Amino acid sequence: MADKHGSDSATSAGISVQTMEIVVALILFGLGGMVVFDSSRLGFRWVEDGPQAGYFPFYIGVFICVSSLVTLAQALFGKKRGGVFVEWAPLRQVFSVLVPAAIFVLGIQLIGIYVAAAAYIAVFMVWLGKYGWIKSVLLGVAVSAVMFMMFEVWFKVPLFKGGYNPLGFLGY
């Protein structure tokens, strides 16, 4: 998985690689710190019958902290790996998938997977694919219906119906 994006076009505007490196390294450092903190609560020593519950996590946390610090230092002081992490226009594209996906997940939480999925597919098709409403809604409902048959009816795997469960009348 080589990094083939955002390499040489340092001129155009966007989030720089350096900024992203720093942000990710800081997040990792924070996570590592949390791991170290909780492991020291559990006990991280090597006692007579081997390591305690926190032994491995402790050193894992330490490794995460150290390696993220090195990455951070490289990003701050090292040879500037210039370039843009992502330009604004593609970033907008990414968000145009990410934000609806987040809304979709929120939708699952509220109205359940089936209704949310039908709506999500339809809206996505109309908005990003420029399909007609009728076609989009039909496809969304069809996918949802197939899923419903497969999971609820045939395999008997109940999926999340949401806080409000609009399909409650179906008896599943």
Partner 1 sequence: MGIQRAFSRGLLPLVAAFGLVAASGPVAAWEPTKPVEFIIPAGTGGGADQMARLIQGIVAKHNLMKQALIPVNKSGGAGAEGFLEVKAAKGDPHKIIITLSNLFTTPMATGVPFNWKDLTPVAMLSLDQFVLWVNAEDPYKTAKEYLDAVKKGGPNTFKMGGTGSKQEDQIVTAAIEKAAGVKFTYIPFKGGGAVATQLVGKHVNSSVNNPIEAVAQWRAGKLRALCVFDSVRLPYKNKVTETQAWGDIPTCREAGVPTDYVMLRGIFMPAGVSDDVVKFYIDLFTKVRATPEWKKFMEDGAFNQTFMTGKDYADWVAKAETLHYGLMKDAGFLAKK
Partner 2 sequence: MEEINALFHGFSVALTPFNLLLMFVGVTLGVLIGVLPGLGGANGIAILLPLTFTMEPTSAVIMLSCIYWGALFGGAITSILFNIPGEPWSVATTFDGYPMAQQGKAGEALTTAFTSSFIGAFFAVVMITFLAPLVAKFALQFGPPEFFAVFFLTFCSFIGMGKEPPFKIVAAMMLGFALAAVGIDTVTGQLRLIFGWHELMRGFDFLIAVIGLFGIGEILLSMEEGLSFSGRTAKIDPRIVIATWKKLPKFWLTSLRSCVIGCWMGITPGGATPASFMSYGIAKRMSPDGAKFGTGMPEGVVAPETAAHAAGTAALLPMISLGIPGSPTAAVLLGGLLIWGLQPGPLLFVEQKDFVWGLIASMYLGNIAGLIIVLTCVPLFAAILRVPFSIIAPVIIVICAVGAYTVHNAMLDIWLMLLFGVAGYAFKKLAYPLAPLVLALVLGDQAESAFRQAMLMSQGDVSIFFSNGLVGSIMALGLLMLLWPLLSKLKASLLRQR
| 156 and 129 Cβ atoms separated by less than 8 Å | no
The count of residues interacting with partner 1 (CB under 8 A) is: 6
Is 50 or 79 the residue whose CB approaches partner 1 more closely?
Answer: 50
Shortest gap between Cβ of 66 and partner 1 (angstroms)? 30
| 160 and 113 Cβ atoms separated by less than 8 Å | yes
Is 85 or 172 the residue whose CB approaches partner 1 more closely?
Answer: 172
Work out whether 125 is an interface residue with partner 2 (CB under 8 A): yes
What letter represents residue 63's amino acid?
F
Residues 137-156, mask of contacts with partner 1 (x by CB under 8 A): -------------------x
Work out whether 141 is an interface residue with partner 2 (CB under 8 A): no
The site partner of 172 among partner 2, partner 1, none (C-beta below 5 to 8 Å per kind) is partner 1
Instruction: Show contacts with partner 2 in window 50-69 (CB under 8 A).
Output: 50-54, 56-57, 60-61, 63-64, 67-68
User: Is residue 165 left, alpha or beta, with left meaning phi > 0 and alpha meaning psi from -120 to 50?
Assistant: left
Tokens 């090195």 belong to: 70
- Rg (alpha carbons) of the chain, rounded to whole number: 24
Work out whether 111 is an interface residue with partner 2 (CB under 8 A): no
Residue 9: C-alpha distances to residues 15, 37, 84, 131, 170 (Å): 12, 41, 7, 34, 55
Instruction: Show contacts with partner 1 in window 42-71 (CB under 8 A).
Output: 49
C-beta neighbour count of 140 within 10 angstroms: 21
- The CA distance from 4 to 83, in Å, is 12
Shortest gap between Cβ of 11 and partner 2 (angstroms)? 18
Shortest gap between Cβ of 51 and partner 1 (angstroms)? 14
Shortest gap between Cβ of 165 and partner 2 (angstroms)? 13
The site partner of 56 among partner 2, partner 1, none (C-beta below 5 to 8 Å per kind) is partner 2
Instruction: Name the packing angle between helices 113-129 and 88-111 (round to 10°).
Output: 160
